[in-house]
Structure 1
Amino acid sequence: MANDRASYFSLLTQPTVAQLVLRYLELEGVDRLFGIPGAAVMHLLEELRLQRDSFEYIICRHETGAAYIADGYSRVSGKLGVVLVTSGPGATNAVTGTMNAQNSGTALLTITGEIPEAYFGLGYLQEGIDASLNIDAIYGSSSRYSSVVTSPSNFQTLFTQALRDALSLPRQAVHISLPDDVAAAQLDLVRFPTSSHNYRTVPQGADPQRVQRAFEALIQAERPLVFLGNGARGPLAQRASLEMFTAWVEKFTIAVMTTPDAKGIFPERHPLSLRNYGMAACEWAQCYMDPQRLDPSLPPGYDALLVVGSTLGGLATNKWDPLLLPTGSFMQLDVDPSVIGRAFPIELGIVAEAGTAVEYLHALGERTDPNAAAVSARRELIARLKQEMSPFVDPAARDSDATPIRPAALMRILNQALPPESDIFVDAGNCVGWCLHYLEIDPPTRIHSSLAMGPMGFGVGAVIGGKLAAPQRTCIAVVGDGAFLMHGSEVSTAAQYGVGAIWVVLCDNDLLMVSQGMNYFFPDPTNPDVWSDYYKLGSPDLAKFALGLGADVYNVGTPGEAERMIRQAITAANADRKPQVIVAHIDTRDVPPYYPPKAAPKAPPPGNDPPAGTPPAGS
């Protein structure tokens, strides 16, 4: 007979499925859900109303935006992000944000309502099952796990499986389709877990022998390198783990670079940091791997690489550039064995949780003496590299005080204005290149991007979730005007809930990344400006748009205005709990470092002069 008095579960009598959903979310520390309500989730909505002291349902302006906001909330809080939307178009609208979370390593649960089971296949309004629209199939192909709860009896099995997948390593996005009559149904008796640890766990191990082999290969190399990916973000966000990792690389003078989506998880101002490689790479990272760029008399290449927590995708590797291949050991460590050796042949694969591996490396380093001569030579090379070479492709642009403001200079000003412990959310487009290359990120400041899928509007929404998760931190998004027009309506969500998020909108009245890219790949010698008018946005007044949504608004055209107004916006956002929108009228002639410098595309001509700086409207 089962022990019904065990300490790891309790007995619940006649709970509804809707009540169990919220009980599980409570176990996971969830107190906010994001979405747009509808009839197919009416019993969950009623339960949320009854438990409004424990849960807040944030009403967003679009289901995709709700998923982006939940994504940002999860990234900053470390908790599960939860999206709750209705069936049919509500469910399909949330797919993009869910898919993006899956590809970004974010723990996200999307719950979509569904019509009552009695009406399956009959053509009921917004039906998404047994009909021409199959919501489960859509989510099944765009997230880690998707299931339809067809009965109260299988709810716990399916729902806890979703939670296990979402909150394991790597973190992932999952989906549950919940017909409304199932949500309303009661179960007679439920054995309910006491803690989340009673139904899920996460990998915590490593392979000591293989980690030791990697350690020995690195310390015996002349020019070793550690390449950190987004899978190392969680462990290195823990102060103890970062300190152990830093002590280890300092003792043996091992250079460190990151993938673009892991930018800043190791301090970029640290003497051993080569900053980010891949898309919009730092010049230091490329030069360390090809030291003859610095001095033709130096031996070519480098001789040992340990990749930690990266799938080595296209943007992380400059489309799998062979520059990344060392002359010696190539080692890859990841908690997911399916990605090890996928992009490049490797000498050593290590299935391990990154945090545990860092502990092992630190312990090995504690009882090992470095090769003093090799360490000294590496230290001199890295110091020389940084002394003789700028990390930036165009340092003059970053230092510029020209008008209209140059995007690289705007990044410098943003760096100087942001307080420690800020969260920066980068959207898709040219803003990615400017932020990756010209921002300098040191923990506890963090930068968040979505480079696997690169959806426009991610940063516009995610910054709201970030600020809700950490009201004491400055949360700022760097976005293009195209993305802001897509999802800027979520500024109204921030205004409604008193969220002091900040948006810096790069205003060029164009989908400029596309224009410049097309001009690079398909130039027309007979008409050099042919691409300059193809993707214009119609000159919308973004300041009035944002003002109407409830934000304080600042028009910025010069470096001086940018410096003054960014600081003013930061102060107001944190003091007044009100959204702040900075419309930065940038020089459209500048091109981010996406292309080989000698073959950079000709930028479209500059637009009209930006308006003079104005005081914040609506404040």
Structure 2
Amino acid sequence: MQTGQSVSVIPGAQTIPSCTVAQLLVQYLLAEGVTKVFGIPGGAAVWLMEELKKHADQIEFVICRHESGAAYMADGHARATRGLGVVLTTSGPGATNAVSGAMNAQASNVSLLVITGEVPEKYFGQGYLQEGTDAKLDVNVIFRNAVESSAMISSPSNFQTLFQQALRNARSLPNRAAHISLPNDVAGTCISPPPTKPTPSSYQARAACADPEALKTSLHELLQARRPLIFLGNGSREALAQPERLKAFTEFVDRFGIPVMTTPDAKGIFPESHELSLRNYGMCASAWPDLYIRPLGDPDHYDALMVLGSTLGELATTTAASNPYNKALLPTQHFIQLDLDASVIGRDFPVTRGVIGEIGASLDVLLQHAHQYHHPDPAKVDERKAYVRQIKQSHTAWADPEGRDSDKAPVHPAAMIRVINELVREGEIFIDAGNCVGWSLNNLVVDPPVRYQSALAMGPMGFGVAAVVGAKMAQPDKPCVAIVGDGAFMMHGAEVSTAAQYRTGAVWVVLYDNDLAMVSQGMAQLLPPAPSWQDYYKLGAPDLVLFSQGLGAEAVAITPDQGTESFKAALVKALDSAQTSGKPQVIVVHINTQPSPPYGWPVLPIPSCTLPSASAAGGDSSL
């Protein structure tokens, strides 16, 4: 086996004593600021597990209950720290179990590194237990088709080259997921000559590119418009997470009177209580964006849109499921789309100007140029602000304002969201897949420092259930709340045990309806009659309070005869106990099952299929 290093020596770089591949890998993680690795140990990663044990005072190996849960947890930790999430699994099924979480991180612009062990190279192709490379199951190929990059370390000589590339890909902008497969014997092999000390600045750089001329022209078009609008996507999250830039951007839109809306997965990256915020567009949107945009053909239809960091995919641009990719989003004059990924510009909507650039650097150019060279027209600014005020004063943002204000029993889901909104004033709110998405999008008002975390590009059930644990581990002094359905909670609720083991006071609010309600309610509207879908997707009436208590949580049910005030009292207690005791908290809310979020499902026409007659078909009509 080769042991020579192929990485070029950097002049003046510091070398470290000869070490194994596993030892050097841990040094890379330390250099990247990694403090936690999430996963499940196994026989294909013994040398790396041994090295993590030696560095337990610097990197904690968090033992999860399922590899998918581990990947979601690492995702949540990465979101909360804005750093690198790391997953470690064994080979074979351990590796494939982590694919969904890795794919979700890739789609959600989260920096994630998955390290999977592999059987010793010398046994490839011999039917070794859980072999995942030279057998029918090719883990490397599976990950390669799910994340930004995947590679197998075949020798100590290529370890640094391939591992640095994985780190570059994971830490790039947009953030991505990467995978490394590490055979056991390679992990335990010494590297010679001694390797250079891992230094991130020597092998990676963060994108900070902008197109000043295109941005100046785009800014001019935006500011000359009568009804301009800015549309923020999840690709703007990292840029606006910097307080100084968010402050400058807020001052800019206020100075020029430009309203702002966000995609669903970017909800709250611009404060939704701001007078110029129209809140989120797309799926289960606030009512306000459509009222500002106006329908196509309307004399007051808006005339300029600047999209920052959104692919303009289905959920971002569909305000009713019956009308996907709503063409009302097309302005009468200027459609400007700015993104670092050139492949998404103009993909779903024709643009008048596409600009390639990193959002943070591009915003800095825009804001500086606007400050130095542009002066607002006070009459235009006052007119637009008055128009937005009139929209807000005459139209509620909620699809069901009566339901949101309700105190009746059983708890209305919109009212439940309102209570969470009132009590959670900082920290992270994780949204799982299902109706919790629709209720939260339409009824939460998110202002920094609260951060709304979702996974709407892929929408895996169970994401929020596990991710909130990783986030709480990263931010032990701040509330971290997951809003989840009962179906999703049963998928990854075992990770409540992980939270209990590590004294992690995450809080779960479970919408309990004993049903996969997003599906059953959707099918009832798509393919009526509705009664035919009742009870079709029931979940067996599990006792989720006993389930949670058995896993180490403090848990309580809000029963069907209890209203919103009972839920509010339970959430106050749970938030306090999570901080003081470090125990996970679960509130199982038996919700009113009648209302549904405002998805705008159509009624589907029933297909009418008839076989052509034998004569019309020209003879034999048999299949």
Q: Counterpart in 2 of 1:385?
A: 391
SS, match of residue 496 in structure 2:
helix
Q: Does 1:543 align with 2:545?
A: yes
Q: Does 1:23 align with 2:48?
A: no
Q: Counterpart in 2 of 1:530?
A: 532
Whole-angstrom CA distance in 2 between matches of 1:190 and 1:300: 69
Q: Counterpart in 2 of 1:54?
A: 58
Q: Counterpart in 2 of 1:566?
A: 571
Q: Counterpart in 1 of 2:378?
A: 372
Deviating 4+ runs (over 6 angstroms)? 2-5
Give the 3 Å change call, closer, same or farther, for CA 3–593 of structure 1 in structure 2: closer
User: Share of identical aligned residues, percent?
Assistant: 52
Q: Counterpart in 1 of 2:97?
A: 93
SS, match of residue 533 in structure 1:
coil
Choose which of 330, 337, 341 in structure 2 pairs with 1:336.
341
Give the 3 Å change call, closer, same or farther, for CA 344–505 of structure 1 in structure 2: same
SS, match of residue 588 in structure 2:
strand
Correspondence 1:52-451 to 2 at 5 A: 52-193=56-197, 195-290=199-294, 299-318=299-318, 319-367=324-372, 368-418=374-424, 420-451=425-456
Whole-angstrom CA distance in 1 between matches of 2:47 and 2:190: 12
1:248/1:361 contact within 8 Å kept = no
Provide Cα deviations, 1:387-426, integer angstroms capped at 9, x if missing partner. 10101111111001111000000011111111x3220000
1:291 CA drift (Å)? 6.9
Residues 192-201 or 180-189, more deviating:
192-201
Provide Cα deviations, 1:169-195, integer angstroms capped at 9, x if missing partner. 000000000000000000112442452
Q: Does 1:583 align with 2:588?
A: yes
Whole-angstrom CA distance in 2 between matches of 1:460 and 1:39: 28
1:599 CA drift (Å)? 7.6
1:472 CA drift (Å)? 1.1
1:4 CA drift (Å)? 7.0
Correspondence 1:498-509 to 2 at 5 A: 498-509=503-514
Whole-angstrom CA distance in 1 between matches of 2:451 and 2:565: 25
Whole-angstrom CA distance in 2 between matches of 1:133 and 1:145: 18
SS, match of residue 176 in structure 1:
strand
Number of residue pairs matched? 589
Whole-angstrom CA distance in 1 between matches of 2:499 and 2:237: 27
Amino acid at match of 2:395: M
Residues 342-351 or 452-461, more deviating:
342-351
1:333/1:349 contact within 8 Å kept = yes
Give the CA RMSD over aligned residues: 1.6
Choose which of 481, 490, 508 in structure 1 pairs with 2:486.
481
**Structure 2: any 5+ residue segments left out of the alignment?**
1-6, 319-323, 605-623
Give the 3 Å change call, closer, same or farther, for CA 194–17 of structure 1 in structure 2: closer
Amino acid at match of 2:284: A
1:11/1:189 contact within 8 Å kept = no
1:555 CA drift (Å)? 1.1
Whole-angstrom CA distance in 2 between matches of 1:128 and 1:540: 36
SS, match of residue 15 in structure 2:
strand
Amino acid at match of 2:57: D
Q: Counterpart in 2 of 1:603?
A: none
SS, match of residue 589 in structure 2:
strand
Amino acid at match of 2:140: D
TM-score by length of 2: 0.93
Whole-angstrom CA distance in 1 between matches of 2:139 and 2:114: 12
SS, match of residue 534 in structure 2:
helix
Whole-angstrom CA distance in 2 between matches of 1:131 and 1:362: 55
2:75/2:112 contact within 8 Å kept = yes
Residues 313-322 or 504-513, more deviating:
313-322
SS, match of residue 310 in structure 1:
coil
Amino acid at match of 1:397: G
1:339 CA drift (Å)? 1.3
Provide Cα deviations, 1:226-277, integer angstroms capped at 9, x if missing partner. 0000010011011001011101111110010000000000000000000000
Amino acid at match of 1:436: L
Whole-angstrom CA distance in 2 between matches of 1:93 and 1:401: 42
SS, match of residue 447 in structure 1:
strand
Amino acid at match of 1:302: Y
Amino acid at match of 1:336: D
Amino acid at match of 1:139: F
Amino acid at match of 2:355: I
Amino acid at match of 1:154: N
1:49 CA drift (Å)? 1.2
Amino acid at match of 1:40: A
Q: Counterpart in 2 of 1:495?
A: 500
Correspondence 1:588-607 to 2 at 5 A: 588-595=593-600
1:428/1:456 contact within 8 Å kept = yes
1:4/1:10 contact within 8 Å kept = no
Q: Counterpart in 1 of 2:617?
A: none
SS, match of residue 173 in structure 2:
coil
Q: Counterpart in 2 of 1:617?
A: none
Q: Counterpart in 2 of 1:611?
A: none
1:13 CA drift (Å)? 3.0
1:470 CA drift (Å)? 0.8
Q: Counterpart in 2 of 1:606?
A: none
Give the 3 Å change call, closer, same or farther, for CA 378–4 of structure 1 in structure 2: closer
Residues 90-99 or 355-364, more deviating:
355-364
Amino acid at match of 2:569: R
Amino acid at match of 2:565: G
Amino acid at match of 2:557: N
SS, match of residue 10 in structure 1:
coil
1:12/1:189 contact within 8 Å kept = no
SS, match of residue 447 in structure 2:
coil
2:39/2:64 contact within 8 Å kept = yes
Amino acid at match of 2:371: E
2:526/2:603 contact within 8 Å kept = no
Q: Counterpart in 1 of 2:555?
A: 553
SS, match of residue 11 in structure 1:
coil
1:299 CA drift (Å)? 2.4
Give the 3 Å change call, closer, same or farther, for CA 5–145 of structure 1 in structure 2: closer
1:344 CA drift (Å)? 1.2
Q: Counterpart in 2 of 1:614?
A: none
Residues 184-193 or 14-23, more deviating:
184-193
SS, match of residue 14 in structure 2:
strand
Whole-angstrom CA distance in 2 between matches of 1:50 and 1:233: 36
2:230/2:308 contact within 8 Å kept = yes
Whole-angstrom CA distance in 2 between matches of 1:372 and 1:32: 52
Whole-angstrom CA distance in 2 between matches of 1:335 and 1:539: 47
Amino acid at match of 1:540: P
Choose which of 460, 463, 467 in structure 2 pairs with 1:462.
467
SS, match of residue 472 in structure 1:
coil
**Structure 1: any 5+ residue segments left out of the alignment?**
601-619
Provide Cα deviations, 1:6-33, integer angstroms capped at 9, x if missing partner. 44x2112321000111010011000110
TM-score by length of 1: 0.93
Whole-angstrom CA distance in 1 between matches of 2:326 and 2:96: 37
Q: Counterpart in 2 of 1:604?
A: none
